[in-house]
């Protein structure tokens, strides 16, 4: 109908004639269908001209039908198919993008742009099709015919409510369809029973009342309160309920500062009086230096009828996210100890802050290794307390480069549930869904608890300085406890009087130190040796069994290769040599002694776990604990000849990272305290990437928290002309961290020494982390060999005196050293026949062997010339440590001189020629060679 063909004298309706043809026809069709659906002026206009316009329309339609009936039928069928296709696209769009429009932020309503209507307009089906019926397969029942308008309403309710479901990025259809079915079956209704609602309210009251209690008792005191995220407590309570249903035996929890005190009291049942003493500065640690209250861990067990769940909150330093790989390692240790007698089903829970979760690289490292064979733990439940602010930075454009702080979780194809922290019932649904998903698919799951921080970074901080607008909103915003209690009152689920009774009862329990009476019995955090309680680890048992015949038998067993196994030529030679060693036709090299130690421990039922970058082979091609068939790529582990059931020997090539892997192994070692747990760096230099783990856990964990670890770190160290980053394991840094007998630092120089170190680490009663600066070129050095007798008759030697038969009366000089430089000194001394110089190796640097050194000095009492010789630059290595210790042993410290490289800001020179020139220079100086 063309407007220029219609003449109208009354100018009241000029605006209608100025409409486009399509819009004009649309208004007329709406008027024909329902006169009241259009504006009154439009209604009057068409009412007076209905017959005239209808005639024009009918004529046009009859003409189209008559001349092109077939085309109309084809177009009609095509339209129907297109509409069905567009309905599918619509549902897909909601499932994929609905979370972007969900009401997940308690502080802000998103713009009132309707995601559904916007997409409908784009799909061309908004007005004319909303009243039509469609089959809605895989959303409602297949038999249901439902109007498009209702489909839109349902989709909006499910995907744009208080939960933002992010799962369409997952690759596996099975996982997506499972989540989709679970979500859509609820139709956006997450309401709980009245009894459950009252329970939730009680948990919210507990969370809020505790914070108010501590605030009133210690105003302004730093406590990193949970206020603004109180829903975490009902979330964790529901997690525990689900854990009982899923038959979990352990929950291992890692979290940073925020809400920690609340979790300690309301979840783990920590004695409130002890907490108050810490606030009052009256709490005194019985042992060690202790730590601040919001770093402390705890363990307890929760009883429900006959079932018990052990729940453990790991200690954590202020490096917020570093605890995540630690609890992963602890979890894996429990999993590895599954047996007929001990059934472990473990749920690890990591609670993060939004800014640290996206900001700290250890998260990426941990997620990256979460599905690898050596580090898989059947999935972690991640809870992000989304404060919408990190320290003082709230603008997400400054905090990250992604829309959500959780976007990194997509790298492992995990679902992410963003949930409004002001909707506790939605949180309970998400928690159940998360636990079910984790159980079914054995992978990580993420709950993004979208909340806010009612105070600043801590209670002494004023957030209004940097976030005035945000904190104006927060000041006006009601607490979740208040919001939920008002809702329950409105629904007649509870009265104001009952709410007051709940609050008063909990406050009284706080005062009476009776928060979780008869529900939780406290355990000692360090009580983690249950897996060895029936195993006799006395050293004399080992000593009585081990003899040369036994050693030869074990070495022979692990040196044989199946006849049909095509081994690499170089590896074949190594194994042939090991076979000869078992027959005493050759001396033991490093690889043989090391593998023999593992075999002996496995024989005694000791769990041995080794991990590191290419540890199966060894960076320097010496270990070959796992070998590979050159025809088909299959692998073979000779040690399984001892460990037939493959329950005691675990060796894994790790991902190419240090921080997360070392933290994982530390966590593992705190549970596997009586076993052997080794992490090997590719080069000792690379341990720099894990410095936080060393500083905060390995060297100080026992002093701060009383947590013992028997972890061994193998750090290949030695100056071979390979330049910086391939020479030094930074001995000086470890020596600086030594105190209170916290660790052991050893530099073994021949195979028997590594054998004894590994054996002793298991059988010694006092458990300490052991740092071994292992060799590189010495692994195949002809002088660095051992006899089988050295493994039986000897033990680990802290220092090694002169080995050549020198004339004692002619000795004028003593050179002290460690590691590879000893062999260079020995070779040059023999070459130049400097037989008046003794060379003494120190094999253990810490604890410093004072008694043994004192005896050496006493033995050479007439000597007035002492030299410390090292490969490292003067400001690195052991020089200053040795100097300070010798001050206490020599009557005149000036008798001790230094020979080695001069101080340097770099660990080593970058050219092999310069390296060799430097080395020869200080070796000659030490040995008086002119």
The model's pLDDT over 799-825, given as tens digits with 9 standing for 90+, comes to 999 999 999 889 999 999 999 999 999
286 shares its domain with 375: yes
Final residue of a structural domain among 487, 519, 551: 519
Give Cα separations from 918 to 720, 909, 925 (angstroms).
12, 9, 11
Beta bridge partners of 798: none
- Of the candidates 407, 418, 409, the residue with the CA atom closest to the CA atom of residue 444: 409
CB atoms within 10 A of CB 550: 13
Tell me the H-state helices in 442-531.
468-476, 480-490, 496-511
Residue 868 lies in a domain: yes
Q: Cα 895 from chain centroid?
A: 51
Full residue range of the structural domain in which residue 764 is found: 531-792
CB 650 within 8 A of CB 610: yes
pLDDT of 73: 45
**Is 234 in the same domain as 374?**
yes
* Sign of CA pseudo-dihedral 850, 856, 862, 866: negative
807 and 724 in a common domain: no
Say whether pLDDT at 506 is over 60: yes
Residue 524 domain-assigned? no
Residue with the bigger pLDDT between 114 and 255: it is: 255
The verdict on 240 and 331 lying in the same domain is yes
**Number of Cα atoms under 13 Å in the Cβ half of residue 570:** 6
Evaluate if residue 617 carries a pLDDT over 60. yes
User: Rounded distance, CA 433 to CA 573, Å?
Assistant: 55
Across the range 478-497, mean pLDDT stands at: 94
Q: Tell whether 614 and 724 lie within a shared domain.
A: yes
* 679 & 592 share domain: yes
* Average pLDDT over every residue of 892-902: 94
CA distance 192 to 217: 35
Q: pLDDT tens digits for 666-708?
A: 999 999 998 999 999 999 999 999 999 999 999 999 999 889 9
**For 855-866, how does the pLDDT look when each residue is reduced to its tens digit (9 = 90+)?**
999 999 889 999
Q: Is the pLDDT at 615 greater than 60, yes or no?
A: yes
DSSP 726-766: SS---HHHHHHT--TT--EEE---SHHHHHHHHHHHHH-SS
In angstroms, the CA 105 to CA 420 distance is 6
Tell whether the model's pLDDT for residue 14 goes beyond 70: no
Give me the residues paired with residue 588 across strands.
786
Q: What does each C-alpha distance from 897 to 205, 853, 929 come to in angstroms?
A: 69, 16, 16
Burial annotation 173-195 (CB, 10 A radius, 16+ → b, else e): eebbebbbeebbeeebebeeeee
- Mean local confidence (pLDDT), 172-189: 94
What mean pLDDT comes out for the span 901-920?
94
Burial 437-471 (b: 16+ CB within 10 A, else e): bbbebebbbbbbbbbbbbbbbbbeeebeebbeebb
Integer Cα distance of 242 and 447 in angstroms: 15
Size of the chain in residues: 930
Contact predicate 301/523, CB 8 Å: yes
**Does any domain span residue 590?**
yes
Q: What is the pLDDT of residues 98-140, one digit of tens each?
A: 998 899 999 975 433 344 445 544 444 444 455 555 555 445 4
Looking at residue 12, what is its pLDDT?
Answer: 54
Q: Which helix (H) or strand (E) holds 398?
A: helix 396-399
Residue 55 has pLDDT above 90, yes or no: no
Q: Are residues 10 and 32 in the same domain?
A: yes
Given a cut of 80, whether residue 531 has pLDDT beyond it is no
Sign, CA dihedral 187-188-193-194, equals negative
- We report the CATH number of the domain holding residue 414 as 3.40.50.970
What pLDDT, on the 0 to 100 scale, is given for residue 602?
95
DSSP class of residue 284 equals: -
Decide if 385 contacts 258 (C-beta within 8 A).
yes
User: Would you tell me the crossing angle of helices 361-369 and 659-671 to the nearest 10 degrees?
Assistant: 70
Distance CA 233, CA 231 (A): 5
Average pLDDT of the segment spanning 276-295: 70
Least confident of 339-348, 519-528, 705-714: 519-528
3-state secondary structure of 217: helix
Query: Coil, strand or helix: which one is 189?
Result: coil
Rounded CA-CA distance 920/926 in Å is 10
Check the CA dihedral 909-911-914-919 and report its sign: positive
Could you tell me if 565 and 587 lie in one domain?
Answer: yes
Q: Yes or no: say if 436 and 246 are a contact pair by the CB < 8 Å rule.
A: no
Same domain, 686 and 538: yes
724 assigned to some structural domain: yes
Give the whole-angstrom CA distance, residue 461 versus residue 720: 53
Q: Are residues 567 and 710 in the same domain?
A: yes
Taking alpha carbons only, the member of 263, 196, 261 closest to residue 424 is: 196
What is the number of structural domains in the chain?
Answer: 5
Q: Is residue 651 part of a domain?
A: yes
C-alpha 496/C-alpha 501 separation (Å) is: 9
Q: What is the pLDDT averaged over residues 698-721?
A: 94
**pLDDT at residue 514, as a whole number:** 67
CA atoms within 13 A on the CB side of 434: 35
Give me the chain's average pLDDT, please: 85
Q: How many percent of the chain have pLDDT more than 70?
A: 82
In sequence order, the 6+-apart residues with CB closer than 8 A to the CB of 324 are 254, 350, 352, 362, 363, 366, 380, 660, 663
**CATH number of domain containing 875:** 3.40.50.11610
Average pLDDT over residues 64-88: 50
pLDDT beyond 80 at 95: yes
Neighbouring residues of 19: CB distance < 8 A, sequence distance ≥ 6: 3, 27
Provide DSSP, 559-570: T---TT----HH
The residue written with tokens 């007439």 in the block is 862
3-class DSSP assignment, residue 437: helix
Do 356 and 442 share a structural domain?
Answer: yes
CA separation for the pair 626, 50 (Å, rounded): 90
Q: E-strand spans in 169-246? A: none
Banded model confidence at residue 83, pLDDT cuts 50, 70, 90: low
What SS3 class is residue 812? coil
Closest CA to 308 of 254, 262, 255, 244: 244
pLDDT digits (tens, 9 = 90+) for 364-419: 999 999 999 999 999 999 999 999 988 888 777 888 888 999 999 999 999 999 99
Weakest mean pLDDT among 458-467, 569-578, 722-731, 736-745: 458-467
The alpha carbon of residue 450 and the mean position of all alpha carbons in its chain are separated, in whole angstroms, by: 21
pLDDT at residue 279, as a whole number: 72
More confident residue, 271 or 762: 762
Minimum mean pLDDT among 52-66, 203-217, 233-247, 457-471: which range?
52-66
- DSSP reduced 3-state for 804: coil
519, 551, 581 — which closes off a domain?
519
Mean pLDDT lowest among 320-334, 486-500, 514-528, 764-778: 514-528
CB 447 within 8 A of CB 384: yes
Does residue 898 form part of some domain?
yes
Q: Which helix (H) or strand (E) segment is 308 a member of? A: strand 307-313
Model confidence at 579: pLDDT above 80: yes
What CATH number is associated with residue 722? 3.40.50.12470
Tell me: do 830 and 760 sit in the same domain.
no
> Does 728 score more than 50 pLDDT?
yes
pLDDT tops 90 at residue 179: yes
| Percent of the chain predicted with pLDDT > 90 | 63
Residue 525: inside a domain: no
Residue 16 vs residues 22, 41, 656, 756: alpha-carbon distances, Å: 12, 10, 71, 98
Final residue before a domain boundary, out of 47, 67, 87:
67
Query: Considering the domain boundaries, does residue 189 fall inside one?
Result: no
Band of residue 84 on the pLDDT scale cut at 50, 70, 90? low
Average pLDDT on 326-351 reads 86
99 vs 36, which has greater pLDDT?
A: 99
CA distance 710 to 677: 7
pLDDT for res 10: 47
């Amino acid at each position: 109908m063309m407007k220029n063909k219609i003449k109208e004298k009354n100018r009241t309706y000029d605006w209608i004639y100025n409409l486009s043809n399509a819009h004009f026809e649309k208004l007329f069709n709406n008027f024909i269908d329902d006169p009241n659906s259009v504006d009154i002026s439009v209604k009057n206009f068409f009412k007076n001209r209905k017959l005239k316009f209808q005639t024009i329309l009918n004529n046009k339609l009859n003409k189209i039908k008559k001349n092109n009936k077939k085309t109309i039928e084809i177009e009609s069928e095509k339209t129907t198919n297109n509409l069905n296709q567009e309905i599918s696209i619509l549902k897909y769009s909601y499932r994929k993008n609905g979370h972007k429009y969900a009401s997940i932020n308690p502080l802000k309503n998103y713009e009132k742009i309707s995601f559904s209507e916007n997409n409908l307009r784009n799909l061309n089906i908004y007005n004319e099709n909303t009243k039509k019926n469609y089959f809605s397969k895989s959303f409602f029942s297949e038999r249901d015919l439902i109007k498009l308008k209702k489909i839109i309403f349902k989709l909006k309710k499910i995907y744009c409510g208080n939960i933002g479901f992010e799962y369409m990025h997952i690759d596996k259809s099975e996982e997506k369809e499972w989540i989709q079915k679970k979500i859509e079956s609820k139709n956006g209704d997450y309401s709980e029973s009245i009894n459950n609602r009252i329970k939730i309210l009680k948990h919210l009251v507990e969370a809020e009342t505790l914070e108010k209690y501590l605030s009133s008792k210690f105003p302004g005191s730093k406590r990193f309160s949970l206020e603004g995220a109180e829903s975490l407590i009902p979330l964790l309570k529901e997690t525990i309920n689900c854990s009982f249903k899923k038959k979990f035996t352990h929950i291992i929890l890692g979290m940073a500062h925020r809400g920690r005190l609340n979790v300690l009291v309301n979840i783990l049942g920590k004695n409130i009086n002890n907490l108050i003493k810490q606030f009052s500065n009256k709490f005194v640690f019985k042992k060690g230096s202790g730590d601040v209250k919001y770093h402390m861990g705890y363990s307890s067990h929760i009883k429900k009828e006959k079932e018990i769940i052990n729940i453990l909150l790991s200690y954590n330093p202020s490096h917020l996210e570093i605890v995540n790989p630690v609890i992963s390692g602890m979890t894996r240790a429990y999993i590895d100890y599954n047996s007929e007698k001990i059934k472990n089903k473990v749920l690890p829970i990591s609670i993060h802050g939004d800014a640290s979760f996206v900001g700290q690289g250890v998260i990426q490292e941990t997620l990256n290794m979460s599905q690898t064979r050596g580090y898989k733990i059947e999935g972690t439940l991640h809870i992000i307390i989304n404060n919408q602010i990190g320290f003082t930075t709230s603008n997400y454009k400054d905090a990250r480069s992604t829309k959500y702080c959780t976007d990194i979780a997509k790298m492992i194809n995990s679902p992410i549930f963003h949930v409004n922290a002001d909707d506790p019932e939605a949180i309970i649904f998400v928690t159940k869904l998360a636990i079910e998903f984790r159980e079914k698919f054995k992978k990580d799951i993420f709950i993004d608890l979208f909340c806010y921080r009612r105070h600043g970074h801590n209670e002494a901080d004023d957030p209004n300085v940097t976030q005035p607008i945000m904190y104006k909103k927060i000041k006006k915003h009601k607490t979740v406890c208040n919001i939920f209690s008002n809702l329950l009152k409105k629904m007649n689920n509870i009265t104001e009087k009952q709410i007051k009774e709940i609050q008063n009862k909990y406050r009284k329990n706080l005062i009476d130190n009776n928060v979780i009476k008869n529900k939780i019995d406290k355990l000692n955090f360090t009580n983690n040796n249950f897996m060895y309680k029936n195993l006799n680890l006395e050293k004399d048992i080992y000593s009585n069994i081990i003899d040369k015949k036994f050693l030869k038998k074990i070495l022979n067993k692990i040196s044989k290769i199946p006849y049909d196994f095509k081994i690499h030529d170089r590896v074949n030679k190594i194994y042939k040599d090991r076979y000869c060693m078992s027959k005493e036709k050759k001396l033991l090299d490093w690889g043989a002694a090391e593998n023999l130690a593992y075999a002996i421990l496995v024989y005694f039922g000791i769990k041995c776990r080794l991990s590191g970058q290419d540890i199966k082979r060894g960076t320097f091609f010496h270990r070959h604990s796992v070998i590979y068939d050159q025809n088909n790529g299959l692998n073979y582990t000779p040690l399984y000849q001892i460990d037939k059931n493959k329950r005691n020997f675990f060796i894994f090539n790790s991902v190419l990272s240090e921080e997360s892997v070392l933290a994982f192994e530390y966590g593992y070692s705190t549970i596997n305290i009586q076993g052997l747990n080794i992490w090997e760096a590719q080069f000792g230099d690379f341990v720099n990437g894990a410095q936080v783990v060393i500083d905060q856990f390995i060297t100080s964990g026992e002093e701060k928290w009383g947590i013992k670890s028997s972890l061994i770190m193998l750090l290949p160290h030695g100056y071979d002309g390979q330049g910086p980053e391939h020479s030094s394991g930074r001995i000086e840094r470890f020596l600086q961290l030594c105190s209170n007998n916290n660790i052991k630092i050893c530099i073994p120089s021949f195979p028997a020494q590594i054998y004894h170190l590994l054996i002793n680490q298991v059988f010694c009663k006092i458990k300490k982390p052991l740092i071994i600066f292992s060799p590189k070129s010495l692994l195949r050095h002809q002088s660095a060999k051992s006899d089988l007798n050295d493994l039986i008759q000897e033990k680990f030697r802290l220092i090694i005196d002169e080995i050549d038969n020198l004339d004692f009366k002619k000795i004028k000089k003593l050179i002290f050293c460690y590691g590879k430089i000893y062999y260079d000194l020995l070779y040059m001394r023999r070459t130049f026949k400097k037989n008046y110089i003794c060379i003494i190796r120190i094999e253990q640097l810490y604890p410093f062997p004072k008694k043994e050194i004192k005896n050496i000095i006493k033995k050479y009492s007439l000597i007035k010339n002492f030299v410390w010789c090292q490969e490292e630059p003067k400001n690195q290595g052991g020089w200053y440590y040795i100097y300070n210790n010798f001050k206490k042993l020599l009557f005149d410290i000036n008798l001790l001189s230094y020979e080695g490289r001069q101080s340097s800001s770099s660990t080593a020179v970058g050219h092999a020629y310069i390296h060799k020139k430097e080395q020869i220079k200080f070796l000659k100086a030490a040995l008086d060679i002119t």
